[in-house]
Structure 1
Amino acid sequence: MHRERIPVYVVTGFLGSGKSTLLSRWLKEAPFSNAALIVNEVGEVGIDHATLGFSGDASMLLADACVCCSGLPALNEALEQLFWARLHRSIARFEMVVIETTGLADPGPLVASLSLNAFVKERYRMAGTFTTIAAPNAIDTLARFAEARAQLGGADVAIVTKTDLVSAEELDALNAQLPNARIAHSANASFALQDALALLAQPAHRIERPVARPFSRPRSHDAVTHFIAIDEASDIDGLHAQVRDITARHGDSLLRLKGLVRLKNREALALVQFARGDAHARITECAANAVKSGLTLIVRTQA
C-alpha cells in the first residue's frame, strides 16, 4: 500500500542571520501555519521556541544539543513521536514538518538522517532547506566560520537577510560568492513564504564557486554555551548596562547572546538579542512563554 510521506522543510542559518525572525513570519502563513514545528537550540533554555509565536500544538524543542553533532537520535525520536501523535489524533493533523536548526548546525547530517533511519525514511521526505545569511557581515562570516559555509553548501534556497543595511555594490559582491543560483533577498523579514516555496520549486542550478575558503563540513564547533541567570532586572536601562558589560568582557569571541529576562513589576519579559558585528544589543518587551530568566551566550573558544 502506497503511503504519502510527510514533507520536511529545514530552516537554517548562521548565528544572528535573522532566520528566527523570518520563520516567525512564515509560521503564520500557509502552508507552514499547518505544520509541526521542531526547534533545535544549543542552550539549555529554548529562546526561539518561546518567541516564535507558533500557535499550533504540534511543537517540540530539542534543547542543549546540536542536531549535527549529538542531536540526531533526539530528532528521529521527535519525528516518530509526532507521527504517532498525528496518527492517533492526540494532536491536530499537520501536513508538514518545519525544523529550525541551531545557528551552528550543519544541515547535511540532518538531511542524511531522514534517509538512514528506516521509520523516518518510510514516513517522511526531505522537501527543502532554506538557509539565511546576514548581508552586513556575510563575507567575513563565510571566511571565518566553516559552519556558515556548510550551511550555504547544503542550501536549496539561500536567503540574504538584512539587505537594507548594505549598499547595492556590497550586495552584488556577496551574490558573486554564493554557490547557489536560488538566491533571494530579504529586508526586515519581508521575504514571503509563498515566494520562498516558488523559488524552491524552480529547477536546481548550482553554481560552482569557492565560498570564501574551500567548503568543508565541521565535525565539531569551536564554541561553548553559557547561561547567565538573571532573576529580575530593575528596568530596561539597567538590563542594557548588564548586557554592555557582558559584551565588552567577551569581545569578538561572543558569537551570540539571547535571552528572556523578567522585569520588575512588569508582566512582559525583556527579549535580549545580540549577534557578532552588532553595535549594541536589541532589547524589547515580549509576551513569551515562561522560561528561565536570563541570558544564553555562545562564545567561540578558538580565534
Structure 2
Amino acid sequence: MHRERIPVYVVTGFLGSGKSTLLARWLKETPFCNAALIVNEIGEIGIDHAMLGFAGDTSMLLADACVCCSGLPALNEALAQLFWARLHRSIARFEMVVIETTGLANPGPLIASLSLDAFVKERYCIAGTFTTIAAPTARDTLARFAEARAQLEGADVVIVTKTDLVSSEELAAVEAHLPGARVAHSANASLGLHDALSMFALPAPDIERAVARPLSRPRSHDAITHFIAIDDAIDLDTLHARVRSLIDQYGDSLLRLKGFVRIKEQDAPALVQFAHGDAFAHITRGTANTVRSGLTLIVKPGASRQARAQETHAP
C-alpha cells in the first residue's frame, strides 16, 4: 500500500552562523508554521530551543548529544514518537518536520540514518538541507573546522549570513570558497522562507554530495561543553565583566558562548551570545524564563587551567 511520507527539512550551520535566528523567522511563516520541530543541542541546557519560541507538543529537544555522533537513535525515536502522536491525534497535525542540528553536526550521517531505519524510512523523506555560514568568518571557519566543510558538502542550499557585515568584494571571496551548491544571502535574518524554499527549484549543482557517501562511523567532536550556573540575579555591569573575562581567559579556544542570565530588577533575563570571530559578546533582552540561568560554553580541548577552574564559580 502506498503511504505518503512526511517531508523532513534539515537546518544546519556552524556555531554562531545565525541559523537559529533565521529559523526563528521561518517558523512563523508558511509552511514551517505547520511543522513539527526537533532541536538538537550538545549542551545540557536547551538555549537554542528556548530562543526559537516554538513550544508545544510538536516541539522536541534532544540535548547533551550530537545527533551525528551518539544521538542518532534518539533522533529516530523522536521521529517515531511524533508519527504515532500525529496518527493518534494526541498532538496537532503537522505537515512536515524541521530538524535543527548542533553547530558541530555533520548532516551526512544524520540523513543517511533516516534512510537506514526501516520505520523512519517508510514514513519520512528528506525534503532538503539548508546550511548557514557567516560571511565575516567563513574563510577562517572553513580552513579550521572539518565540521563546517562537511556541512557545506551536505547542503542543498547554502545561506551566507551576516552579509551586511562584509563588503561586496569580501562576499565574492567567500563565495569563491563555497562548493557548487545553490547559494542565498541573508542579513539580520532577511531571507524569507518562501525565497529559501524556492532555491530548491533551481537546477541542482553537479557535485558529489555527502549524503551519497556510506554512513561514516560516529565520532565525538573535538569540542567540550561547559555550563556555568548563575542562579542569583546580577546587574548588567557584572554580567558584561564576567563575559569579557571568560572570552579573555579562553581566547581562541572559545567557539561559542550563549545563555540566559537573570538580571536584577528586570522581569526578563538577558540573552548572551558570542561566537568565534566576534569582536564582543552581544547581550540583549531575552524572553525565555523557563531556562536555567547561566552560560553555556563550547570550547576546543586544551583551554587553560585557569579558565577551567573558574567555570564552576558564578559572579
Aligned twin of 1:138: 138
Name 1:18's counterpart in structure 2: 18
| Alpha-carbon contact 1:227-1:297 (below 8 Å) kept | yes
- Whole-Å Cα distance in 2 between the matches of residues 128 and 190 of structure 1? 20
Alpha-carbon offset, residue 56 of structure 1? 5.0
Change (3 A) 1:103 1:66: same
CA contact (8 A) 1:106 1:218 kept: no
Instruction: Give the percent of matched residue pairs that are identical in Structure 1 and Structure 2.
Output: 79
Tell me what 1:267 maps to: 267
After TM superposition, list the pairs within 5 Å mapping 1:180-259 onto structure 2: 180-206=180-206, 219-259=219-259
What amino acid sits opposite 2:222 in the alignment?
D
**In the comparison of the two structures, how many residue pairs are matched?**
296
Q: What is the CA distance between 1:200 and its match in structure 2?
A: 1.5
Structure 1 counterpart SS, 2:148:
helix
Aligned partner of 1:118 in structure 2 is: 118
Query: How many angstroms does 1:289 deviate by?
Result: 4.3
CA distance in 2, matches of 1:126, 1:165: 33
Residue equivalent to 1:295: 295
Q: Which structure 2 residues correspond to residues 164-183 of structure 1 after superposition, within 5 A? A: 164-183=164-183
Cα distance, 1:221 vs structure 2: 1.2
Given the two structures, how large is their TM-score scaled by the length of structure 1? 0.94
The answer to whether the 8 Å contact 2:268/2:289 transfers is: no
Measured after TM superposition, the shift of residue 245 of structure 1 is 0.6
Instruction: Output the TM-score relative to the length of structure 2.
Output: 0.91
* 1:174 Cα deviation after fit: 1.0
Tell me which residue corresponds to 1:106: 106
Q: Map of 1:275-294 to 2, 5 A cutoff?
A: 275-294=275-294
Q: Is the 8 A contact 1:158 1:180 kept in 2?
A: no
Q: Are the structure 2 counterparts of residues 218 and 124 from structure 1 closer, same or farther at C-alpha, using a change threshold of 3 Å?
A: closer
Question: CA contact under 8 A between 1:114 and 1:120: conserved in structure 2?
Answer: yes
Alpha-carbon deviation of 1:150? Answer: 0.3
How far 1:205 moved relative to its partner?
A: 1.1
- 1:170 Cα shift? 0.8
SS at match of 2:245: helix
Partner SS for 2:279: coil
Q: Deviations over 1:150-185 (max 9, x none)?
A: 000000000000000011111111111111330001
| Structure 2 contact 37–98 (Cα < 8 Å) conserved | yes
CA distance in 2, matches of 1:185, 1:233: 39
Tell me the equivalent position of 1:61. Answer: 61
User: Which blocks of at least 5 consecutive residues in structure 2 are unaligned?
Assistant: 209-215, 304-315
C-alpha RMSD of the superposition: 1.6
